[in-house]
Homo-oligomer: A and B are copies of this chain.
Amino acid sequence: MTESVHMKKGLTHLALCFLLSNWPHAALAATDPLPSWNDTAPKKAIIAFVEKVTKEGSPDFVPPAERIATFDNDGTLWAEQPAYFQILFALDRVKALASEHPEWKTKSPFNKLLSTPKEERVPVTEHELMEIIVVAHSGMTTEEFEKTVRDWIATAKHPKTGKLYTEMVYQPMLELLAFLRANSFKTFIVSGGGIEFMRPWVEKVYGIPPEQVVGSSGKLKFEMRDGKPILLKLPEVDFIDDKEGKPVGIQTHIGRRPIAAFGNSDGDLQMLQWTMAGSGARFALLVHHDDAEREWAYDRESQFGKLDKAWDEARAKDWTVVSMKSDWKKVFPFE
């Protein structure tokens, strides 16, 4: 490294470090770290929690290494209607590959996907969805699948809004992720969605690197092909990171109990229970989809993102519940 390049790098780091060092103060006093949140109870609860766990010498202080925050993806960081976006991906993929698989027309769960119009609810479970994806892509390498996801996510449009799926992320949650990271939290995704479906784009969209993504997965096999090592996708589901699976996924991938967890549905209940059962300061939040105008309104009866048991438990245990309608100034970045 030449001296001038080195100096430049040093100064940039210094400037950045100076900003970061002053962030808690600046964020809470001078600049609003959560500008898309209304000044209602959830925003106050988030800021109070972050203040107390980062305040050195306080009884609630948590060392930076233990500031683990986990986020569900579908319905918590991005939208999930008219179906999990991964179902729409699977539908496009199954259609693209259907000519090579005439048996899919009559074989469950493929036939359910193929016979349902895009705007309608597809009656598949998380497990069936993963089964469709792993079977449809078996024989592909992990690199080939990654390219398939990248190509789709860069071009596919949402059936209602016509936006890219990566534009349908929640602006308040992007701000929350950044706020937590600025306060030395390590942010993880813990989603029922496929781990290999999320990794290609979440770093750019959420600032969450691939190694901080926990999700459902298919089995992989290492082998040499023409002297080159590859990882082959097998037609077998390995793990479903949903409901009771979420604490298991957290333990397997993170090995440390989160101190804060964010979800929106019954699929997140066990993650929130697991998070809240640890000692010391804890935080659990549910996003309630009650804004039919700017987004969608659904809860107890929804096929995707059903919020029923988790809602009751949140009320009983005084967890933070966000009303998208009342607590968010803005839902999507494009508004």
Which residues of A approach B to under 8 Å, CB–CB?
1, 5-6, 9-11, 13-14, 16-18, 20-22, 24-25, 51, 54-57, 65, 68, 142, 186, 188, 195-196, 199, 203, 209-213, 217, 220-224, 228-229, 231, 244-248, 251-256, 270, 273-274, 277
Q: Do residues B5 and A56 form an inter-chain contact, with CB atoms below 8 A? A: yes
Check B25–A1 contact: CB distance below 8 A: yes
B222 and A270 contacting across the interface, CB-CB below 8 Å: yes
Among A57, A211, A254, A274, max chain B CB count under 10 A is at A211
A196 partner residues in chain B, CB cutoff 8 A: 255
- Please name all residues of chain B whose beta carbon is closer than 8 Å to the beta carbon of A274 when the two chains form the complex: 222, 229, 231
How far is B6's CA from A55's CA once the two chains are assembled, in angstroms?
9
A14 touches B9 (CB 8 A): no
For the complex, give the distance between the alpha carbons of A209 and B21 in Å: 23
Q: Which residue of B lies closest to A68 (CB)?
A: B211
Does the CB pair B210–A254 fall under 8 Å? Answer: yes
Are B247 and A231 in contact, with the CB atoms below 8 A? Answer: yes
Indicate the member of A10, A16, A142 with the most B CB atoms within 10 Å.
Answer: A10
- Pick from B5, B9, B224, B251: contact of A220, CB below 8 A: B251
Complex contact A1–B55 (CB within 8 A): yes
- Given the complex of chains A and B, what is the CA–CA distance between A229 and B276 in angstroms? 9
Residues of B close to A10: CB separation below 8 A? 18, 21-22, 25
Asked whether B24 lies within 8 Å of A1 as measured between CB atoms, the reply is yes
Give A36 Cβ to nearest chain B Cβ, in Å: 24
Q: Are B277 and A228 in contact (CB under 8 A)?
A: yes
A234 to chain B, nearest CB (A): 10
- Whole-angstrom CA separation of A273 from B231 in the bound complex: 12
Select which of B20, B142, B253 is within 8 A of A253 by beta carbon.
B253
CB-defined contacts of A213 to chain B, threshold 8 Å: 255
Top 9 A-B residue pairs of the complex, sorted by shortest distance between their CB atoms: A17-B17, A210-B255, A13-B21, A10-B21, A222-B244, A211-B254, A199-B255, A229-B273, A222-B247
| B1 adjacent to A51 (CB under 8 Å) | yes
- CB-defined A-B contacts under 8 Å, sample of 18: A1-B56, A6-B24, A9-B56, A10-B22, A10-B25, A13-B17, A13-B20, A14-B14, A14-B18, A14-B21, A17-B17, A211-B211, A211-B212, A217-B252, A222-B245, A222-B270, A231-B251, A253-B253
A121 CB to closest chain B CB (Å) equals 28
Q: Which residues of B contact A20 (CB under 8 A)?
A: 13
Q: How near does chain B come to A126, taking the closest CB pair, in angstroms? A: 15
A154 to B251 CA separation, bound complex (whole angstroms): 23
